[in-house]
Amino acid sequence: MQPELRPVPNNDSAFGREVPRYAPGDRVVDTADSQKVLRNTYLLLALTMVPTIIGAYVGMATVGLVMQHPIIISLVMLAGVIGLQFAIAANRDSGLGVALLLLMTGLLGWWLGPILTVALALKNGPALVGYAAGGTGLVMAVMATIATTTKRDFSFMGKFLFVGMIVLMIAMVANMFLQIPALALTISSAVIVVFSLFLLHDLSRIVTGGETNYVMATTGVYMSLFNIFVNLLSLLMALTGEKD
């Protein structure tokens, strides 16, 4: 848990103003710095949409390759994305970190190809894609509003969310082999909830000064948005998709 800011009252003054002291271990939040990190995060997040869209078009064009070996390619992609996240963290303070982030978003865009192809083949497919994108944007707006207006520290949720993510990842891999529709719907619903809370967690860390690197902040926010969009689209397709 990140320590909360707790000024200790004292009688010192400077130029007629009270000078607060802070208890050992407390974090002093620099509002200007946190706003800068938040602004840079949003700018880099907007930039990541470019390789994501390009990757999605490539993925739709090469969907036949993915459909030939869906499980193997999914597992390889999962390992690749996890490896890239470690590489991004190791190079967070350099331009290489940004380049690796853009590479990762391009790969994830390519991974979107199959689900977008299936969705757009439905009678109401374009509308479902739009609803999923709009729903993801709405979740982002709500979580950003909560984080910036309340300025509460939600970092206490980190450990619980991480455990939940691991459990969901294991369940998703298992269902690649089991192919149980009801389990797939349950997993998608849980993923939306967990990563919506992850989004709040990550945005609140930026606002409260817990995350000072905009590359890492963007990585976390992007992964949450990506998972929310994919699973929201999956739910919409399963529940309201109209075949020709």
Helices 125-150, 214-240: inter-axial angle, 10-degree rounding: 140
Q: Look at residue 63 in the predicted model and tell me its pLDDT.
A: 87
Residue 2 within any structural domain of the chain: no
From 147, 131, 134, select the one nearest 197 (Cα to Cα).
147
The tens digit of pLDDT for each residue in 159-183 reads 999 999 999 999 998 998 888 999 9
pLDDT > 90 in the chain, percent = 67
Residue 93 within any structural domain of the chain: yes
Residue 1 within any structural domain of the chain: no
Q: Look at residue 8 in the predicted model and tell me its pLDDT.
A: 38
CA angle at 174 for the pair 168 and 179, rounded to the nearest 5°: 110
Residue 162 within any structural domain of the chain: yes
Domain count of the fold of the chain: 1
Whether the per-residue pLDDT at 129 is higher than 90: the answer is: yes
* Banded pLDDT at 185 (limits 50, 70, 90): very high
The tens digit of pLDDT for each residue in 198-211 reads 999 999 999 998 89
Residue 161 within any structural domain of the chain: yes
- One DSSP character per residue, 104-173 reads HHHHHHHHHHHHHHHHHTSTTHHHHHHHHHHHHHHHHHHHHHHHHHH----GGGHHHHHHHHHHHHHHHH
Residue 18 within any structural domain of the chain: yes
Residue 127 within any structural domain of the chain: yes
pTM score of the predicted model: 0.85
Q: Look at residue 14 in the predicted model and tell me its pLDDT.
A: 35
Environment class of residue 17 by beta-carbon count within 10 Å: exposed (0-12), middle (13-18) or buried (19+)? exposed
Domain that holds residue 85: 7-240
